[in-house]
Amino acid sequence: MRRPHLLITSAGRRAKLVEYFVREFKDGQVSAADCSPLAPALYMAHHHYIVPEITHPDYIDHLLELCQQQQVTALLSLIDPELESLAAAHDRFETIGVTVVVSPQEACALCFDKYAMYTHCVGQGIAHAKTYHTLAAFQEALALQEIDFPVFVKPRNGSASIAVSRVGSLPEVEHLFDQSEGLIVQEFLDGPELGVDVYVDLLSQEVTSIFIKEKLVMRAGETDKSRSVVRADVFELVEHVLEGTGLVGPLDFDVFDVDGTLYLSEINPRFGGGYPHAYECGVNFPAQLYQNLQGHINRPAIGQYQENRYMMKHDTVTLVSAAQFEQSNHNKT
Ligand SMILES: Nc1ncnc2c1ncn2[C@@H]1O[C@H](COP(=O)(O)OP(=O)(O)O)[C@@H](O)[C@H]1O
Ligand SMILES: [Mg+2]
């Protein structure tokens, strides 16, 4: 078995996560890629590469070439918008010996479409906020008193909390629908929000880890402060939700506790921005991924972490010399 060489794409600001990978991939290598030489996480990896933007038509071809040149054995993306295209190219990477750590394309598509996720949950008997994908459907529900204000209006395919708003009146909802396309209206979930980090073993397809944090403060769409909690009802929900979905690898769930009923809000089929809390409490996904890439199965260890630990994110800085910066920029693939 070749020593794992992991390429983390769209590394961005996820410096802590890249550091964890470097620590856990003891005999392996960790590379990071981004379209900007000013992405700080690049400089935490053993090697880094500047690649085209993910929307570039040749992006996947560039990655394939880079993987071949650098003898990469596995690829992992940290952002939603490239998951589906990586999943679609899964076989092309497999042919050159690269494991793409991503769920199947249909599973990624389901997670990326908030209306599809709603209908999926209704079908599976999983509590989910009532969701409307047209203004007319929302107005009808309002007239039937199926739903009331406040509501949440957001893009059907959004991420990073961009354009998510809490709205208190119909004219405001109408105004938002006038301004943009592809919006949905959602029932307001009134209760504590939980962020759940899940690892599904790539080989056994079994859930091996579930870490729950109560979100205390959000900032720029990410959990900024949180507290670890252990709840059997959340563990059960996660196992139930995952049945038959094909989702694998690191996953990030958003769940609301509304008077004791758990509502699934969304699943991001990738590392969540709050994952450092899980790692620091002893839930080690990079080590599990390393084991999987070495052909070993991980044993389930659900709920084995420190409860009541508060996580606070904070600033740090990284400096690179002009020479290093130029070198990175110059090495564009
Ligand atoms: N229906 C809702 N009820 C209450 N809060 C919501 C609702 N929808 C979104 N939010 C808040 O907005 C945040 C971002 O919304 P989310 O649906 O997770 O979109 P994104 O994919 O952009 O992360 C959530 O983490 C939550 O705090
Ligand atoms: Mg979210």
The domain limits of the chain are 5-102+317-330, 130-187, 191-312
131-132: strand order across its sheet: 131-132, 183-187, 151-155, 165-167
Distances (CA, A) of 160 to 39, 82, 92, 107: 17, 14, 29, 19
Q: Is 129 in the pocket of ligand 1 (CB under 6 A)?
A: yes
pLDDT value of residue 333:
60
Q: How far apart are CA 185 and CA 153, in angstroms?
A: 5
One-letter identity of residue 150: P
Q: 57: cis peptide before it, omega within 30°?
A: no
Read off the tokens for 129. Answer: 């906020």
pLDDT value of residue 193:
98
Instruction: Calculate the CA 60 to chain-centre distance.
Output: 20
Sign of CA dihedral 93, 95, 99, 104: positive
309 C-alpha to ligand 2 centroid (Å): 22
221 C-alpha to ligand 1 centroid (Å): 9
pLDDT value of residue 221:
84
pLDDT value of residue 302:
97
Mean pLDDT by 10 residues, the chain (333 residues): 93 98 96 98 98 98 98 98 97 98 98 97 97 98 97 94 94 97 98 98 98 96 95 98 97 98 98 97 98 98 97 96 87 66
Residue nearest to atom 1 of ligand 1 (CA): 188
pLDDT value of residue 51:
98
pLDDT value of residue 106:
98
pLDDT value of residue 71:
98
For the CA atoms of the chain, what is the radius of gyration?
20
Strand duo 74-77 + 99-100: pairing: parallel
249-258: strand order across its sheet: 261-268, 249-258, 193-200, 207-219, 222-229, 310-312
- Which top CATH class is 130-187? alpha beta
Cβ neighbours of residue 104 closer than 8 Å, sequence gap 6 or more: 87, 90, 246
pLDDT value of residue 329:
81
Fold of 191-312: D-amino Acid Aminotransferase; Chain A, domain 1 (3.30.470)
Q: How far apart are CA 255 and CA 214, in angstroms?
A: 10
- Which top CATH class is 5-102+317-330? alpha beta
Q: Is 193 in the pocket of ligand 1 (CB under 6 A)?
A: yes
Q: Is 213 in the pocket of ligand 1 (CB under 6 A)?
A: no
pLDDT value of residue 159:
87
Q: Is 80 in the pocket of ligand 1 (CB under 6 A)?
A: no
pLDDT value of residue 331:
67
Query: Tokens 């921005």 label which residue?
Result: 273
